[in-house]
Amino acid sequence: MSIGHFIDGKRVGGTSERRGDVFDPATGRRTAEVELASTADVDVAVQAAARAARAWRDASLARRSAVLFAFRELVHARRDRLAEVITAEHGKVLADAAGEVQRGLEVIEYACGLPSALRGAFSENVSTEVDSYTIRQPLGVVAVISPFNFPVMVPLWFVPVAVACGNAVVLKPSEKDPSAALLLAEWFAEAGLPDGVLNVVNGDKEAVDALLEHPEVRAVSFVGSTPIARYVYRRATAAGKRVQALGGAKNHMVVLPDADLDLAADAAVNAGFGSAGERCMAISVLVAVEPVADALVERIAARVTGLRTGDGRRGCDMGPLVTAAHEAKVRSYVDAGVAAGAVAVVDGRDVTPDGDPDGFWLGPTLFDRVTPDMSIYTDEIFGPVLSVVRVGSYDEAVELVNASPYGNGTAIFTNDGGAARRYQHEVEVGMVGINVPIPVPMAYHSFGGWKSSLFGDLHAHGEDGVRFFTRGKVVTSRWLDPRHGGVNLGFPTQT
Ligand code: NAD
């Protein structure tokens, strides 16, 4: 099977001869090839979007909302199918895929109500008979470039908001799991979105570079690893575009001695190993404030040993990694952790999966006595590896978290409200959970990290999303009132 693009309302092939392989990670089998767009293919999509944007910006708010409501109904009715497509190409278990679809649906629902966020602001009588008001207008063509790990949720962080704001979109999904984005585009069209308002171009670096340089592309929303996010931010801003580039993460969960240890252990296991750790909000470091470490590690180990790794369609707890290359990379980190002297309390390299032996398997690994100089601590591994670092005090814990170059998510587990409040104030991270391990903001708040986890100013969806996909225009108007001796400019005099 060959997977192409979706341009101007229909599935099309491109001109490029280059292809990428798409695998079912649970069987290791190549299930499709995906076209890798050329610069010329990207241009066709951007031109279609530019034509569509000129009409879509004039579509009434009521019409845009009607399309979004219809799209929401289609995605909701077909959510199981979407989850199956995610699992087939990404590998995450069906329950995780369904959760991803649910989070995406929430952004669509937020976008259904966007007319209220687009109301602008009005100041009457800023001077005599002078009013001043701000209106928010769409940008034109915007590009969305997404990572492999949330093939539905991440595109939906941006596309519904961009479209509701009156823009046209060119979406470039990850070439590792391209099918879900094409379905979303088809369903959007079925919901009444005019041709060209949402286009999907599959590809790799060549397609990304073409989007970053294209003069018709006004803004870029990117999500992926930190080195590529930094590159996208620099290159696209140099080309004069508005950019939000969300990068990688290394999220810490701090457990204070007074925490509910069973709650903390459950949270650490869910947040560390859900979606096989391939989540930008996964907890990868657990900071145990002594004397809590022994009791906590014991509880986590008991839970991790009970996790079933296998085919995501078989009701397992954890699926395979996305590709053989990624599995090898994560495995090499486990090797490095052992070699550096960390204690592998549970070693995922020995796993016996419930699935095809050719799948890209690696079981959950729990490391204890990890120190900040080890590569398993410093690097984003993006796999099922949870590292426990032991510290002596709250202050030491905060210092450790704030020394990280990343600042995406963090959590603190404690029963002390004062300590939690101090943590939320002191920690240099964009999203903070208090007794909540994965503090992903709801659609009406904005999602985004700090430091090397986000380049740009505005976060995804919520108020920031609306600001990102619109530009403000301030109108100052003066209408002279004839009753006050002004000139009647031709309108009937009010009596
Ligand atoms: P990636 O950076 O490899 O790829 C992301 C996108 O960039 C893909 O569409 C890919 O085709 C493109 N790309 C890859 N290499 C490129 C290059 N050299 N030049 C131009 N474009 C290129 O990321 P990934 O492996 O698909 O996703 C995992 C990463 O994404 C992790 O680092 C994870 O933390 C991060 N992520 C971050 C968030 C967040 O909200 N901060 C959310 C999800 C994922």
Pick the residue whose CA is nearest to atom 19 on ligand 1.
Answer: 205
Q: How far from chain centre, in Å, is Cα 1? A: 28
| pLDDT 10s digits, 77-136 | 999 999 999 999 999 999 999 999 999 999 999 999 999 999 999 999 999 999 999 999
Return d(Cα 495, Cα 489) in angstroms, integer: 16
Instruction: Name the residue of 204, 329, 451 to mutate for ligand 1: max ligand atoms within 8 A of Cβ.
Output: 204
What is the C-alpha to C-alpha distance for residues 272 and 281, in angstroms, rounded to an integer?
Answer: 9
The protein residue with its alpha carbon nearest to ligand 1, atom 20, reads 205
Write down the domain spans for the chain.
2-247+453-476, 251-434
Is the shortest distance between the CB of 208 and ligand 1 below 6 Å? yes
Q: Which runs of consecutive H residues, i.e. helices, occur in 310-469?
A: 324-340, 375-378, 394-403, 417-426, 462-468
Q: How far, CA to CA in Å, does 127 sit from each of 91, 124, 476, 494?
A: 62, 8, 10, 21
- Distance in angstroms (rounded) separating the CA atoms of residues 147 and 209: 15
Domain covering 2-247+453-476 in this structure, CATH number: 3.40.605.10
Q: Report d(CA 208, CA 193) in Å as an integer.
A: 24
C-beta atoms surrounding 291 within 10 Å: 10
For the 251-434 domain, the top CATH level (class) is alpha beta
* pLDDT band for position 488 (cuts 50, 70, 90): low
Residue 495's pLDDT band (boundaries 50, 70, 90)? very low
- Model-level pTM greater than 0.95? yes
Q: Does residue 174 line the site of ligand 1, with CB under 6 A?
A: yes
State how far the Cα of 412 lies from the Cα of 264, in Å rounded to an integer.
9
112 is catalytic: no
C-alpha 119/C-alpha 103 separation (Å) is 25
Kindly list the strands in the beta sheet with 121-127, ordered across the sheet, starting from the edge strand earlier in the chain. Answer: 121-127, 130-138, 470-478
Q: Whose CA is nearest to atom 26 of ligand 1?
A: 147
Going by the DSSP 8-state scheme, the letter that residue 453 receives in this structure is T
**Ligand 1 atom nearest to CA at 232:** 20
Condensed to tens digits (0 to 9), the pLDDT of residues 358-378 reads 999 999 999 999 999 999 999
How many C-beta atoms lie closer than 10 Å to residue 57's C-beta?
15
Q: What is the dihedral of CA 228, 252, 468, 155, to 10 degrees?
A: 70
